[in-house]
Amino acid sequence: MEGRYGALFTGSHDEHDPVWQLQTGLSSTVCLVCVLETLEDPQVLVIKKCAFLSQIANLLKTQYREALAEMLLMDDKIAISLLTTILQLLPSENENLSATVVDTAAQLCCLLKSEEIAYFVLEHISTQVLQLASFQTSLPGLVLLGRLLNGIPPLAQKMGHDMTLLDYLVTGLDYPDRKIKSAILFLLAKVYASVEDVDHPDWVAFMRDISPSLLSILVKEEATDVLTNGMGLLLTLLDHPDNVRVLVQEVSVLLEQDVGGRATLCSSLRKMVMAPDTNIQVAGVRAVSTILQHILDGNLEPDFANLLLNGDIAEFLFEALATTSEQLLDSIFQSLLMFADFDAFFKKGHTLYGIDAVVRGVHQSLKSATTSVQCCGFQLLAKILSSQSSNTSLLSNSAGYQQFVQLFVSGLQTCNADLVVDVLPAVSAFLRRDHQPSPVPYADLQNVLALVVKNIKGWPMMQDSPVCETLVKAQTQSHIVGNSRMSKMQKLLQEGLKVFHSAWNLVAVCKEDPLADESIFAPPESQSSDGSGRSFSTKVGSFLQFLFQQTDEGFIPLVMQNLQYITDRQVFVHIFSILNLQYQLIPDTMSVLSCKLASSCFLRLSLEVKAKFCTGDSGDTLKQAANLFIRKLLSVLLMIGTEKEMACSVAEEENFLAKELLPILAHINGEPQSLLTLLMEKSDLENTDRECLVHRVHKACMAILYYSYLYNDRMVDELSLHKVLLVCLDQEPLRLFPLYTMKHFIFLLAVSTPMSDSSYLDSWSSPLTQFLAEIKEPLMLYTHCQELLEWCFRSSELTNVIGAVFMESWLWNKRCADQTMCETAMYQTQEAQNNEFLSKLLIRNSAASSCFMDLIGQGEGEVVTQALDILQSIVFSTSAENPCFQTLLNYKLPNILLKLLASYKQEVDHTVAVVLQLVCHGQVYEQLTDNLNLKLVHQVVSTITKYAISGEILLASLNYLTVLLVGTSMRKDTRLLAILLSNDAILMLVQDLLSGNTFRQDTVSEDQAVSLQSCALQLLGALVQLQVQFKVACDYTVHVQTELLLEMLTCDGTLLQLFCVVSFLASMFHVSLQSPVARLDLGISSQHLALIFLSLQNIMVVEEELLRCAVVCCMSWLLTYIQPRHQALVDHLMNQPWNQLLLQTVLDTHNNGTVPPSVVALLTLFLEHGKPGLVTQKHVDRIVTQATLQQEGTSSVVDILYGKFFSVIAKCTGVEIRLTHRASVKEFVEKFLREPSVGSQETLVRFVEVQDVMLCSSWISDTFQQRPSTEELSRLLQDDNQFTGKGSSEEC
């Protein structure tokens, strides 16, 4: 009936104790006593009982459930009574009431959390199910049991003791109702999962009883709930290996005997794997994985895996990969990974059937956001690709191959380190030759490998990772670190190196396979590399270069940068193996890389890696790879040194490195410092036993130290090394070592010897030099190194024994390097350092420079040529000259010349020419006061006049005579002038040179012919000038062709040619064309003079100050020559309009800078001889301003130029010195008059080298130094009226 608050109550509600009433709201109350009375009353309608139960069930879902639990627990009898009453309603025909009872009873039991109540309910239901003996009627009880076992897990163990009930339930597995089967399967799964002793006979029998029914259900049923619970029971059973044996027994029934349709485990699993419900599929796959895991753990025999494979489980797994479920994909990948651990999986062709499905599955996984699924897929691919037999190809067509490539590209493009770490092993396994078609698509592989490098370079260095730092600190003493503890970046590097290791192995195989580059089915024109006919355009050679570049620029720097953080030995296995493959496949390319590796301390790295990671096992892969790398590296470094140094036999050392070193390296397992310890061991070499182990180890240690030091890898400190070498020198006879080991020994001794203690050197040099003196081929001991060359000249004893040989070897090495490496930037830098070193050595070490000069004295050969080049660079570029070195040059060079010229032969032409140039440069200012120089002059003159010498030596000789003539004459020494003027042969030679009679195509080139004519003119001009000055007699006159001079002036000649002809004409005009030394054959006419003046004006435009000065000088003497003879011609030449244009042009070239002396002289010339107005007041102001601003620090020549300019202005009209400049000009003139020495002829002669010819500017300077008279300058000091008398400066 309806209560006063709208709740359900019985008629006696008012008599009930309020303690059993629960207030659930403002107008709602629940009375437990009323509920009990209603449920117990058989007269109450079922619908009313449902209402009361629903009230309790709903209350259990609200916030009042805890209050209800407290009320019931006040008296257990009430709770038990309530539950008993509720459970009595279970066998009801009303499904709604049964469902409500199940729901209410399950919630109450879980809420009360009372073990006593739970056991009571369990026992009650169990008894009820057995008493009813009807599965259909007992279904609600079975469902309630399932709810209780799921909510209260300990009840399952209690229920497991009731074998009667369990046996009864087993019989229900054959009941046709799916709900009953589903409920029983759930109960059995829960109970069996709680069993602790499954080996108990009762449970063994129980397992045997349920297996047939369970497998039958799984095979025949279609209902999802039945299959779900059935798989739950199956998975529970499969957790125990013995149960697997029971279940798998059904597999032994052959299909042809299975006429009754008997269910088997394999048939059950096949059905589950292909079920329409994803959860059932996942359960089926996990069942397969469980069985395989037992096999892998050793709990089951491997034959069980074969039974599963024979049951086509793997094929069904492959088919099930056609899904979008991440969970299913993950389960299948894991199961197939386990299958891949069995050989039968590959031998029976399962991978051939499923490889395409696996690729599609991994492609599908890349669309998900779960990295673990993707990783598992790539792990499966890597396992299949790496384990597949090489006799069977997985890829049958190009489409399948492209799917693989695209899959790798997609995986690598994710740039997810967790995924990429698993993609890389798959790529590595893919790079097997049997997985590649013919021809190999190198372009596709290159794209994949480029992404590999990009991923590895894209992640930070290991030193930036706190994880890696922690690992290194924690693992300092550990030699081998498992992959599970490896940092992510280290794992990436290790797997990336493994990929490239596989790529190099692939190339090694492809180079031996002609089909790897070209297909036998393609026409020849389709094999071109332009891409026509097929897409495989990248050949193995290009692929090799790509791998080499990535290894050189990518992986080697990464390894070196992270060296201290790498704890995985596989990194070094791969890097050393890759380098060994490079030495094998591209030996021609390894020279440069070997130098880089040696310079990057890879020899030291090899020893340190062996000491840290390798054991004494001779079969250690890392140890073998490192030892092989050391041998290959040293062999290549040996050949590099052989190419650079003087040609000598290296067969013995090459044989040692190729055949003996590798076994010896097996005994060298310590750090680099341990090499010194090994060298300290005393060898037991007696009688004929010269190849004992200690002795061979000594040779190997010195070879390693030699090449490491040679490439600046100081793996041990120099002082310790030096002490050890001295011990070796004392205890081991040097004669027992082969020459190549002695080369190593001497080099190491040189680079480790203290440079500051000379006495320390003398203590051991004597026994060493005694041994060196006995060696017939000391050249075999040379190594190209600065320290070695300097070392051999530190001791006089060493210098006498090996100094000359080592100096010659140094020059030979430089010559070879110039021929082979002159274009490389590295060589240019090294060459500059070597030249600087040798220059300093020769300048400060007299023994070295004397030995160097003796080499030059040999006269011919490439070494002499190299020595001359070096000596030239020293002489012409040394800023701080050493007096001792200069003295040696001045003494040695003339002697060398005398020796070479005394026994002249054409082979020494170049040497003679260069030495002449050096003597000319070094002695140009010295007076000829000793017999030595006179002998040299006579010898030079005799050689060039008697022998058919080359143009090179003739040019050098003329240059030498000209420079020496000018230099001695400036010091009033006329002996050389007299020698030349009295020697008709030399003058005839000049005559022949100017006429071209001595030029022969075989000895004089066209360029040399022009230079020789120019030098002859310069020498002849000097003789003309000096003959007039010193009045020396001359009996032979040289006839010069006027047309030749005009042609040389008007043609587009070189600076040398123009300067010499202008200087010669200046000399001739200076002596008024009257000289016993030279004469113009046709004389000179007015037309000639005008043409010469016009040509000089054109030459004046050339922006070369030396030539301009010569032109102005020649113009001045030309006008001086014409003026008394033809004044009209002077006026005509000076009044031409192009004079103004010439003046403007030369001034414009210096518009914003200082006007050079040649232009000042030209303005002075035009002021003296030109018409008024040619030089404007603007020009004068500019020169005056410059002169007054640059008085301090100017030369005497410049002062004279300005003085002459001022004196000419004083004579001219139309221009003046402005008022603002008069005080400064007056001060300049007064100073000039006070210093009569300015402009004296004692100034030293100056030379400028142009095209290997020393051009003398003394005649130009002499012309410019014609000091203006005192009267002319005194006029500038008169009153200002004399300045203004010519007009106002403002009007100009």
> 1281: which DSSP letter?
H
pLDDT number for residue 983: 92
Q: Report pLDDT for 1254.
A: 65
What is the separation, in whole angstroms, between the first and last Cα of the chain? 140
Phi, psi of 306 (to 5 degrees): -65, -35
The residue whose two tokens read 């059905």 is 271
pLDDT for the residue 529: 40
Residue 334 has pLDDT above 90, yes or no: yes
C-alpha 411/C-alpha 366 separation (Å) is 7
Average pLDDT, stretch 466-480? 40
Q: What is the pLDDT of residue 1084?
A: 83
pLDDT band at 578, cuts 50/70/90? Answer: very high
Confirm if 423 and 380 have CB atoms less than 8 A apart: no
pLDDT band at 800 (very low <50, low <70, confident <90, very high): confident
More reliable by pLDDT, 1274 or 83: 83
- pLDDT > 90? residue 896: no
Reported pTM? 0.71
Query: What confidence score (pLDDT) does residue 46 get?
Result: 62
Element housing 23 (H / E): strand 21-25
**Hey, is 1253 helix, strand or coil?**
strand
pLDDT at 508 over 80: yes
pLDDT single digits (tens) 52-102: 677 677 667 666 666 666 666 666 677 777 777 777 777 776 777 777 778
Residue 957 has pLDDT above 80, yes or no: yes
The beta strand positions in 857-927, using DSSP E, are none
Is residue 766 pLDDT above 80, yes or no? no
SS3 state of residue 946: helix
- Low-confidence winner among 276-280, 286-290, 805-809, 1050-1054 (lowest mean pLDDT): 1050-1054
> Does the pLDDT of residue 465 top 50, yes or no?
no
d(CA 331, CA 542): 42
Contact 1041, 1082 (CB under 8 A): yes
Model confidence at 202: pLDDT above 50: yes
Q: Grade residue 923 by pLDDT with cuts at 50, 70 and 90.
A: low
Which pLDDT score is estimated for 1210?
72
444 vs 447: CA distance, rounded Å: 5
Any idea which of 163-167, 389-393, 626-630, 928-932 has the lowest mean pLDDT? 928-932
Q: How far apart are CA 1087 and CA 1146, in angstroms?
A: 26
What element of type H or E holds 30? Answer: strand 28-31
What's the rounded mean pLDDT across residues 900-925? Answer: 78
pLDDT band, very low/low/confident/very high, at 1272 (cuts 50, 70, 90): low
Q: Does the structure show a pLDDT above 90 at 736? A: no
pLDDT, one tens digit per residue, over 1143-1193 is: 888 888 877 667 788 888 888 888 888 777 788 888 887 877 777 776 554
Distance, CA of 43 to CA of 46 (rounded, Å): 9
Kindly tell me if the per-residue pLDDT of 10 is higher than 70.
no
From the list 231, 137, 154, the residue with the least C-alpha distance to 196 is: 154
Q: At what angle do helices 975-982 and 984-995 cross, to 10 degrees?
A: 70
Check the CA dihedral 346-348-349-351 and report its sign.
negative
* HEC profile of 399-450: HHHHHHHHHHHHHHHCCCHHHHHHHHHHHHHHCCHHHCCCCCCHHHHHHHHH
* 880 has pLDDT over 60: no
Phi, psi angle pair for 947, to nearest 5°: -105, 155
Q: Which of 587-601, 937-951, 995-1009, 1240-1254 has the highest mean pLDDT?
A: 587-601
The least confident of 164-168, 491-495, 663-667 is 164-168
Average pLDDT over residues 18-22: 66
Q: What is the pLDDT of residue 824?
A: 46
Residue 735 pLDDT greater than 60, yes or no? yes
Mean pLDDT of 886-907: 81
**Lowest-confidence segment of 699-703, 1074-1078, 1281-1285 by average pLDDT:** 1281-1285
Evaluate if residue 484 carries a pLDDT over 70: no
pLDDT at residue 929 greater than cutoff 50: no
**Residue 982: per-residue pLDDT:** 92
User: Residue 70 has what pLDDT?
Assistant: 67
pLDDT exceeds 50 at position 5: no
pLDDT attached to residue 1197: 59
Task: Give yes or no for residue 1076 having a pLDDT over 90.
Answer: yes
What average pLDDT score do residues 252-263 get?
A: 48
Task: Kindly state the greatest CA–CA separation across the chain.
Answer: 171
Strand duo 1078-1080 + 1038-1040: pairing: parallel
Average pLDDT in the chain: 79
Q: How far apart are CA 781 and CA 772, in angstroms?
A: 9
Give backbone dihedrals phi and psi of 504, rounded to 5 degrees, phi first.
-65, -40
- Of 301-315, 441-455, 564-578, 908-922, the one with minimum mean pLDDT is 908-922
Q: For residues 1079-1101, give the mean pLDDT.
A: 87
The DSSP line for 736-755 is GS-HHHHHHHHHHHHHHS-S
β-pairing, 28-31 vs 1247-1250, is: unpaired
Q: Is 763 a residue whose pLDDT tops 60?
A: no
Cβ neighbors of 14 (< 8 A, separation 6 or more) are none
pLDDT level of residue 189 (50, 70, 90 thresholds): confident
Which pLDDT band, with edges at 50, 70 and 90, does 704 fall under? very high
* Most confident stretch, 847-851, 924-928, 1194-1198: 847-851
Mean pLDDT of 928-948: 76
From residue 861, alpha-carbon distances to 751, 866, 871, 1114 in Å are: 30, 9, 15, 45
Residue 744 has a pLDDT of 92
pLDDT over threshold 60, residue 399? yes
Instruction: Look at residues 827, 826, 748 and name the one whose alpha carbon lies nearest to residue 783.
Output: 748
CA dihedral 231, 237, 238, 242 (to 10 degrees): -150
Peptide bond just before 439 cis, omega within 30 deg: yes
pLDDT of res. 448: 94
**Cα–Cα nearest to 428, from 393, 378, 490:** 378
> Residue 424: what pLDDT?
94
Q: Is the pLDDT of residue 531 over 90?
A: no
pLDDT tens digit sequence for 962-994: 888 887 887 788 888 999 999 999 999 999 888
- Cα 794 off chain centre by: 40
More confident residue, 255 or 836: 836
Structure confidence at residue 1052 (pLDDT): 78
Task: Specify the pLDDT at position 466.
Answer: 41
Cα distance between residue 1210 and residue 1202, in whole Å: 13
Strand partners, 29: 23
Asked if pLDDT for residue 22 goes beyond 80, the answer is no
pLDDT score, position 762: 55
Percent of the chain with pLDDT over 70: 78
CA 975 → CA 238, 813, 933, 966, 1010, distances in Å? 122, 45, 11, 12, 29
Q: Cα-flanking dihedrals φ and ψ of residue 1039, to 5°?
A: -95, 120
Other Cβ atoms closer than 10 A to 1217: 21
Say what the pLDDT of residue 822 is: 46
Residue 898 predicted with pLDDT over 60: yes
Q: Tell me the C-alpha to C-alpha distance, in Å, between residue 126 and each of 114, 140, 159, 891.
A: 18, 12, 9, 128
Token pair in block for residue 687: 């009688």
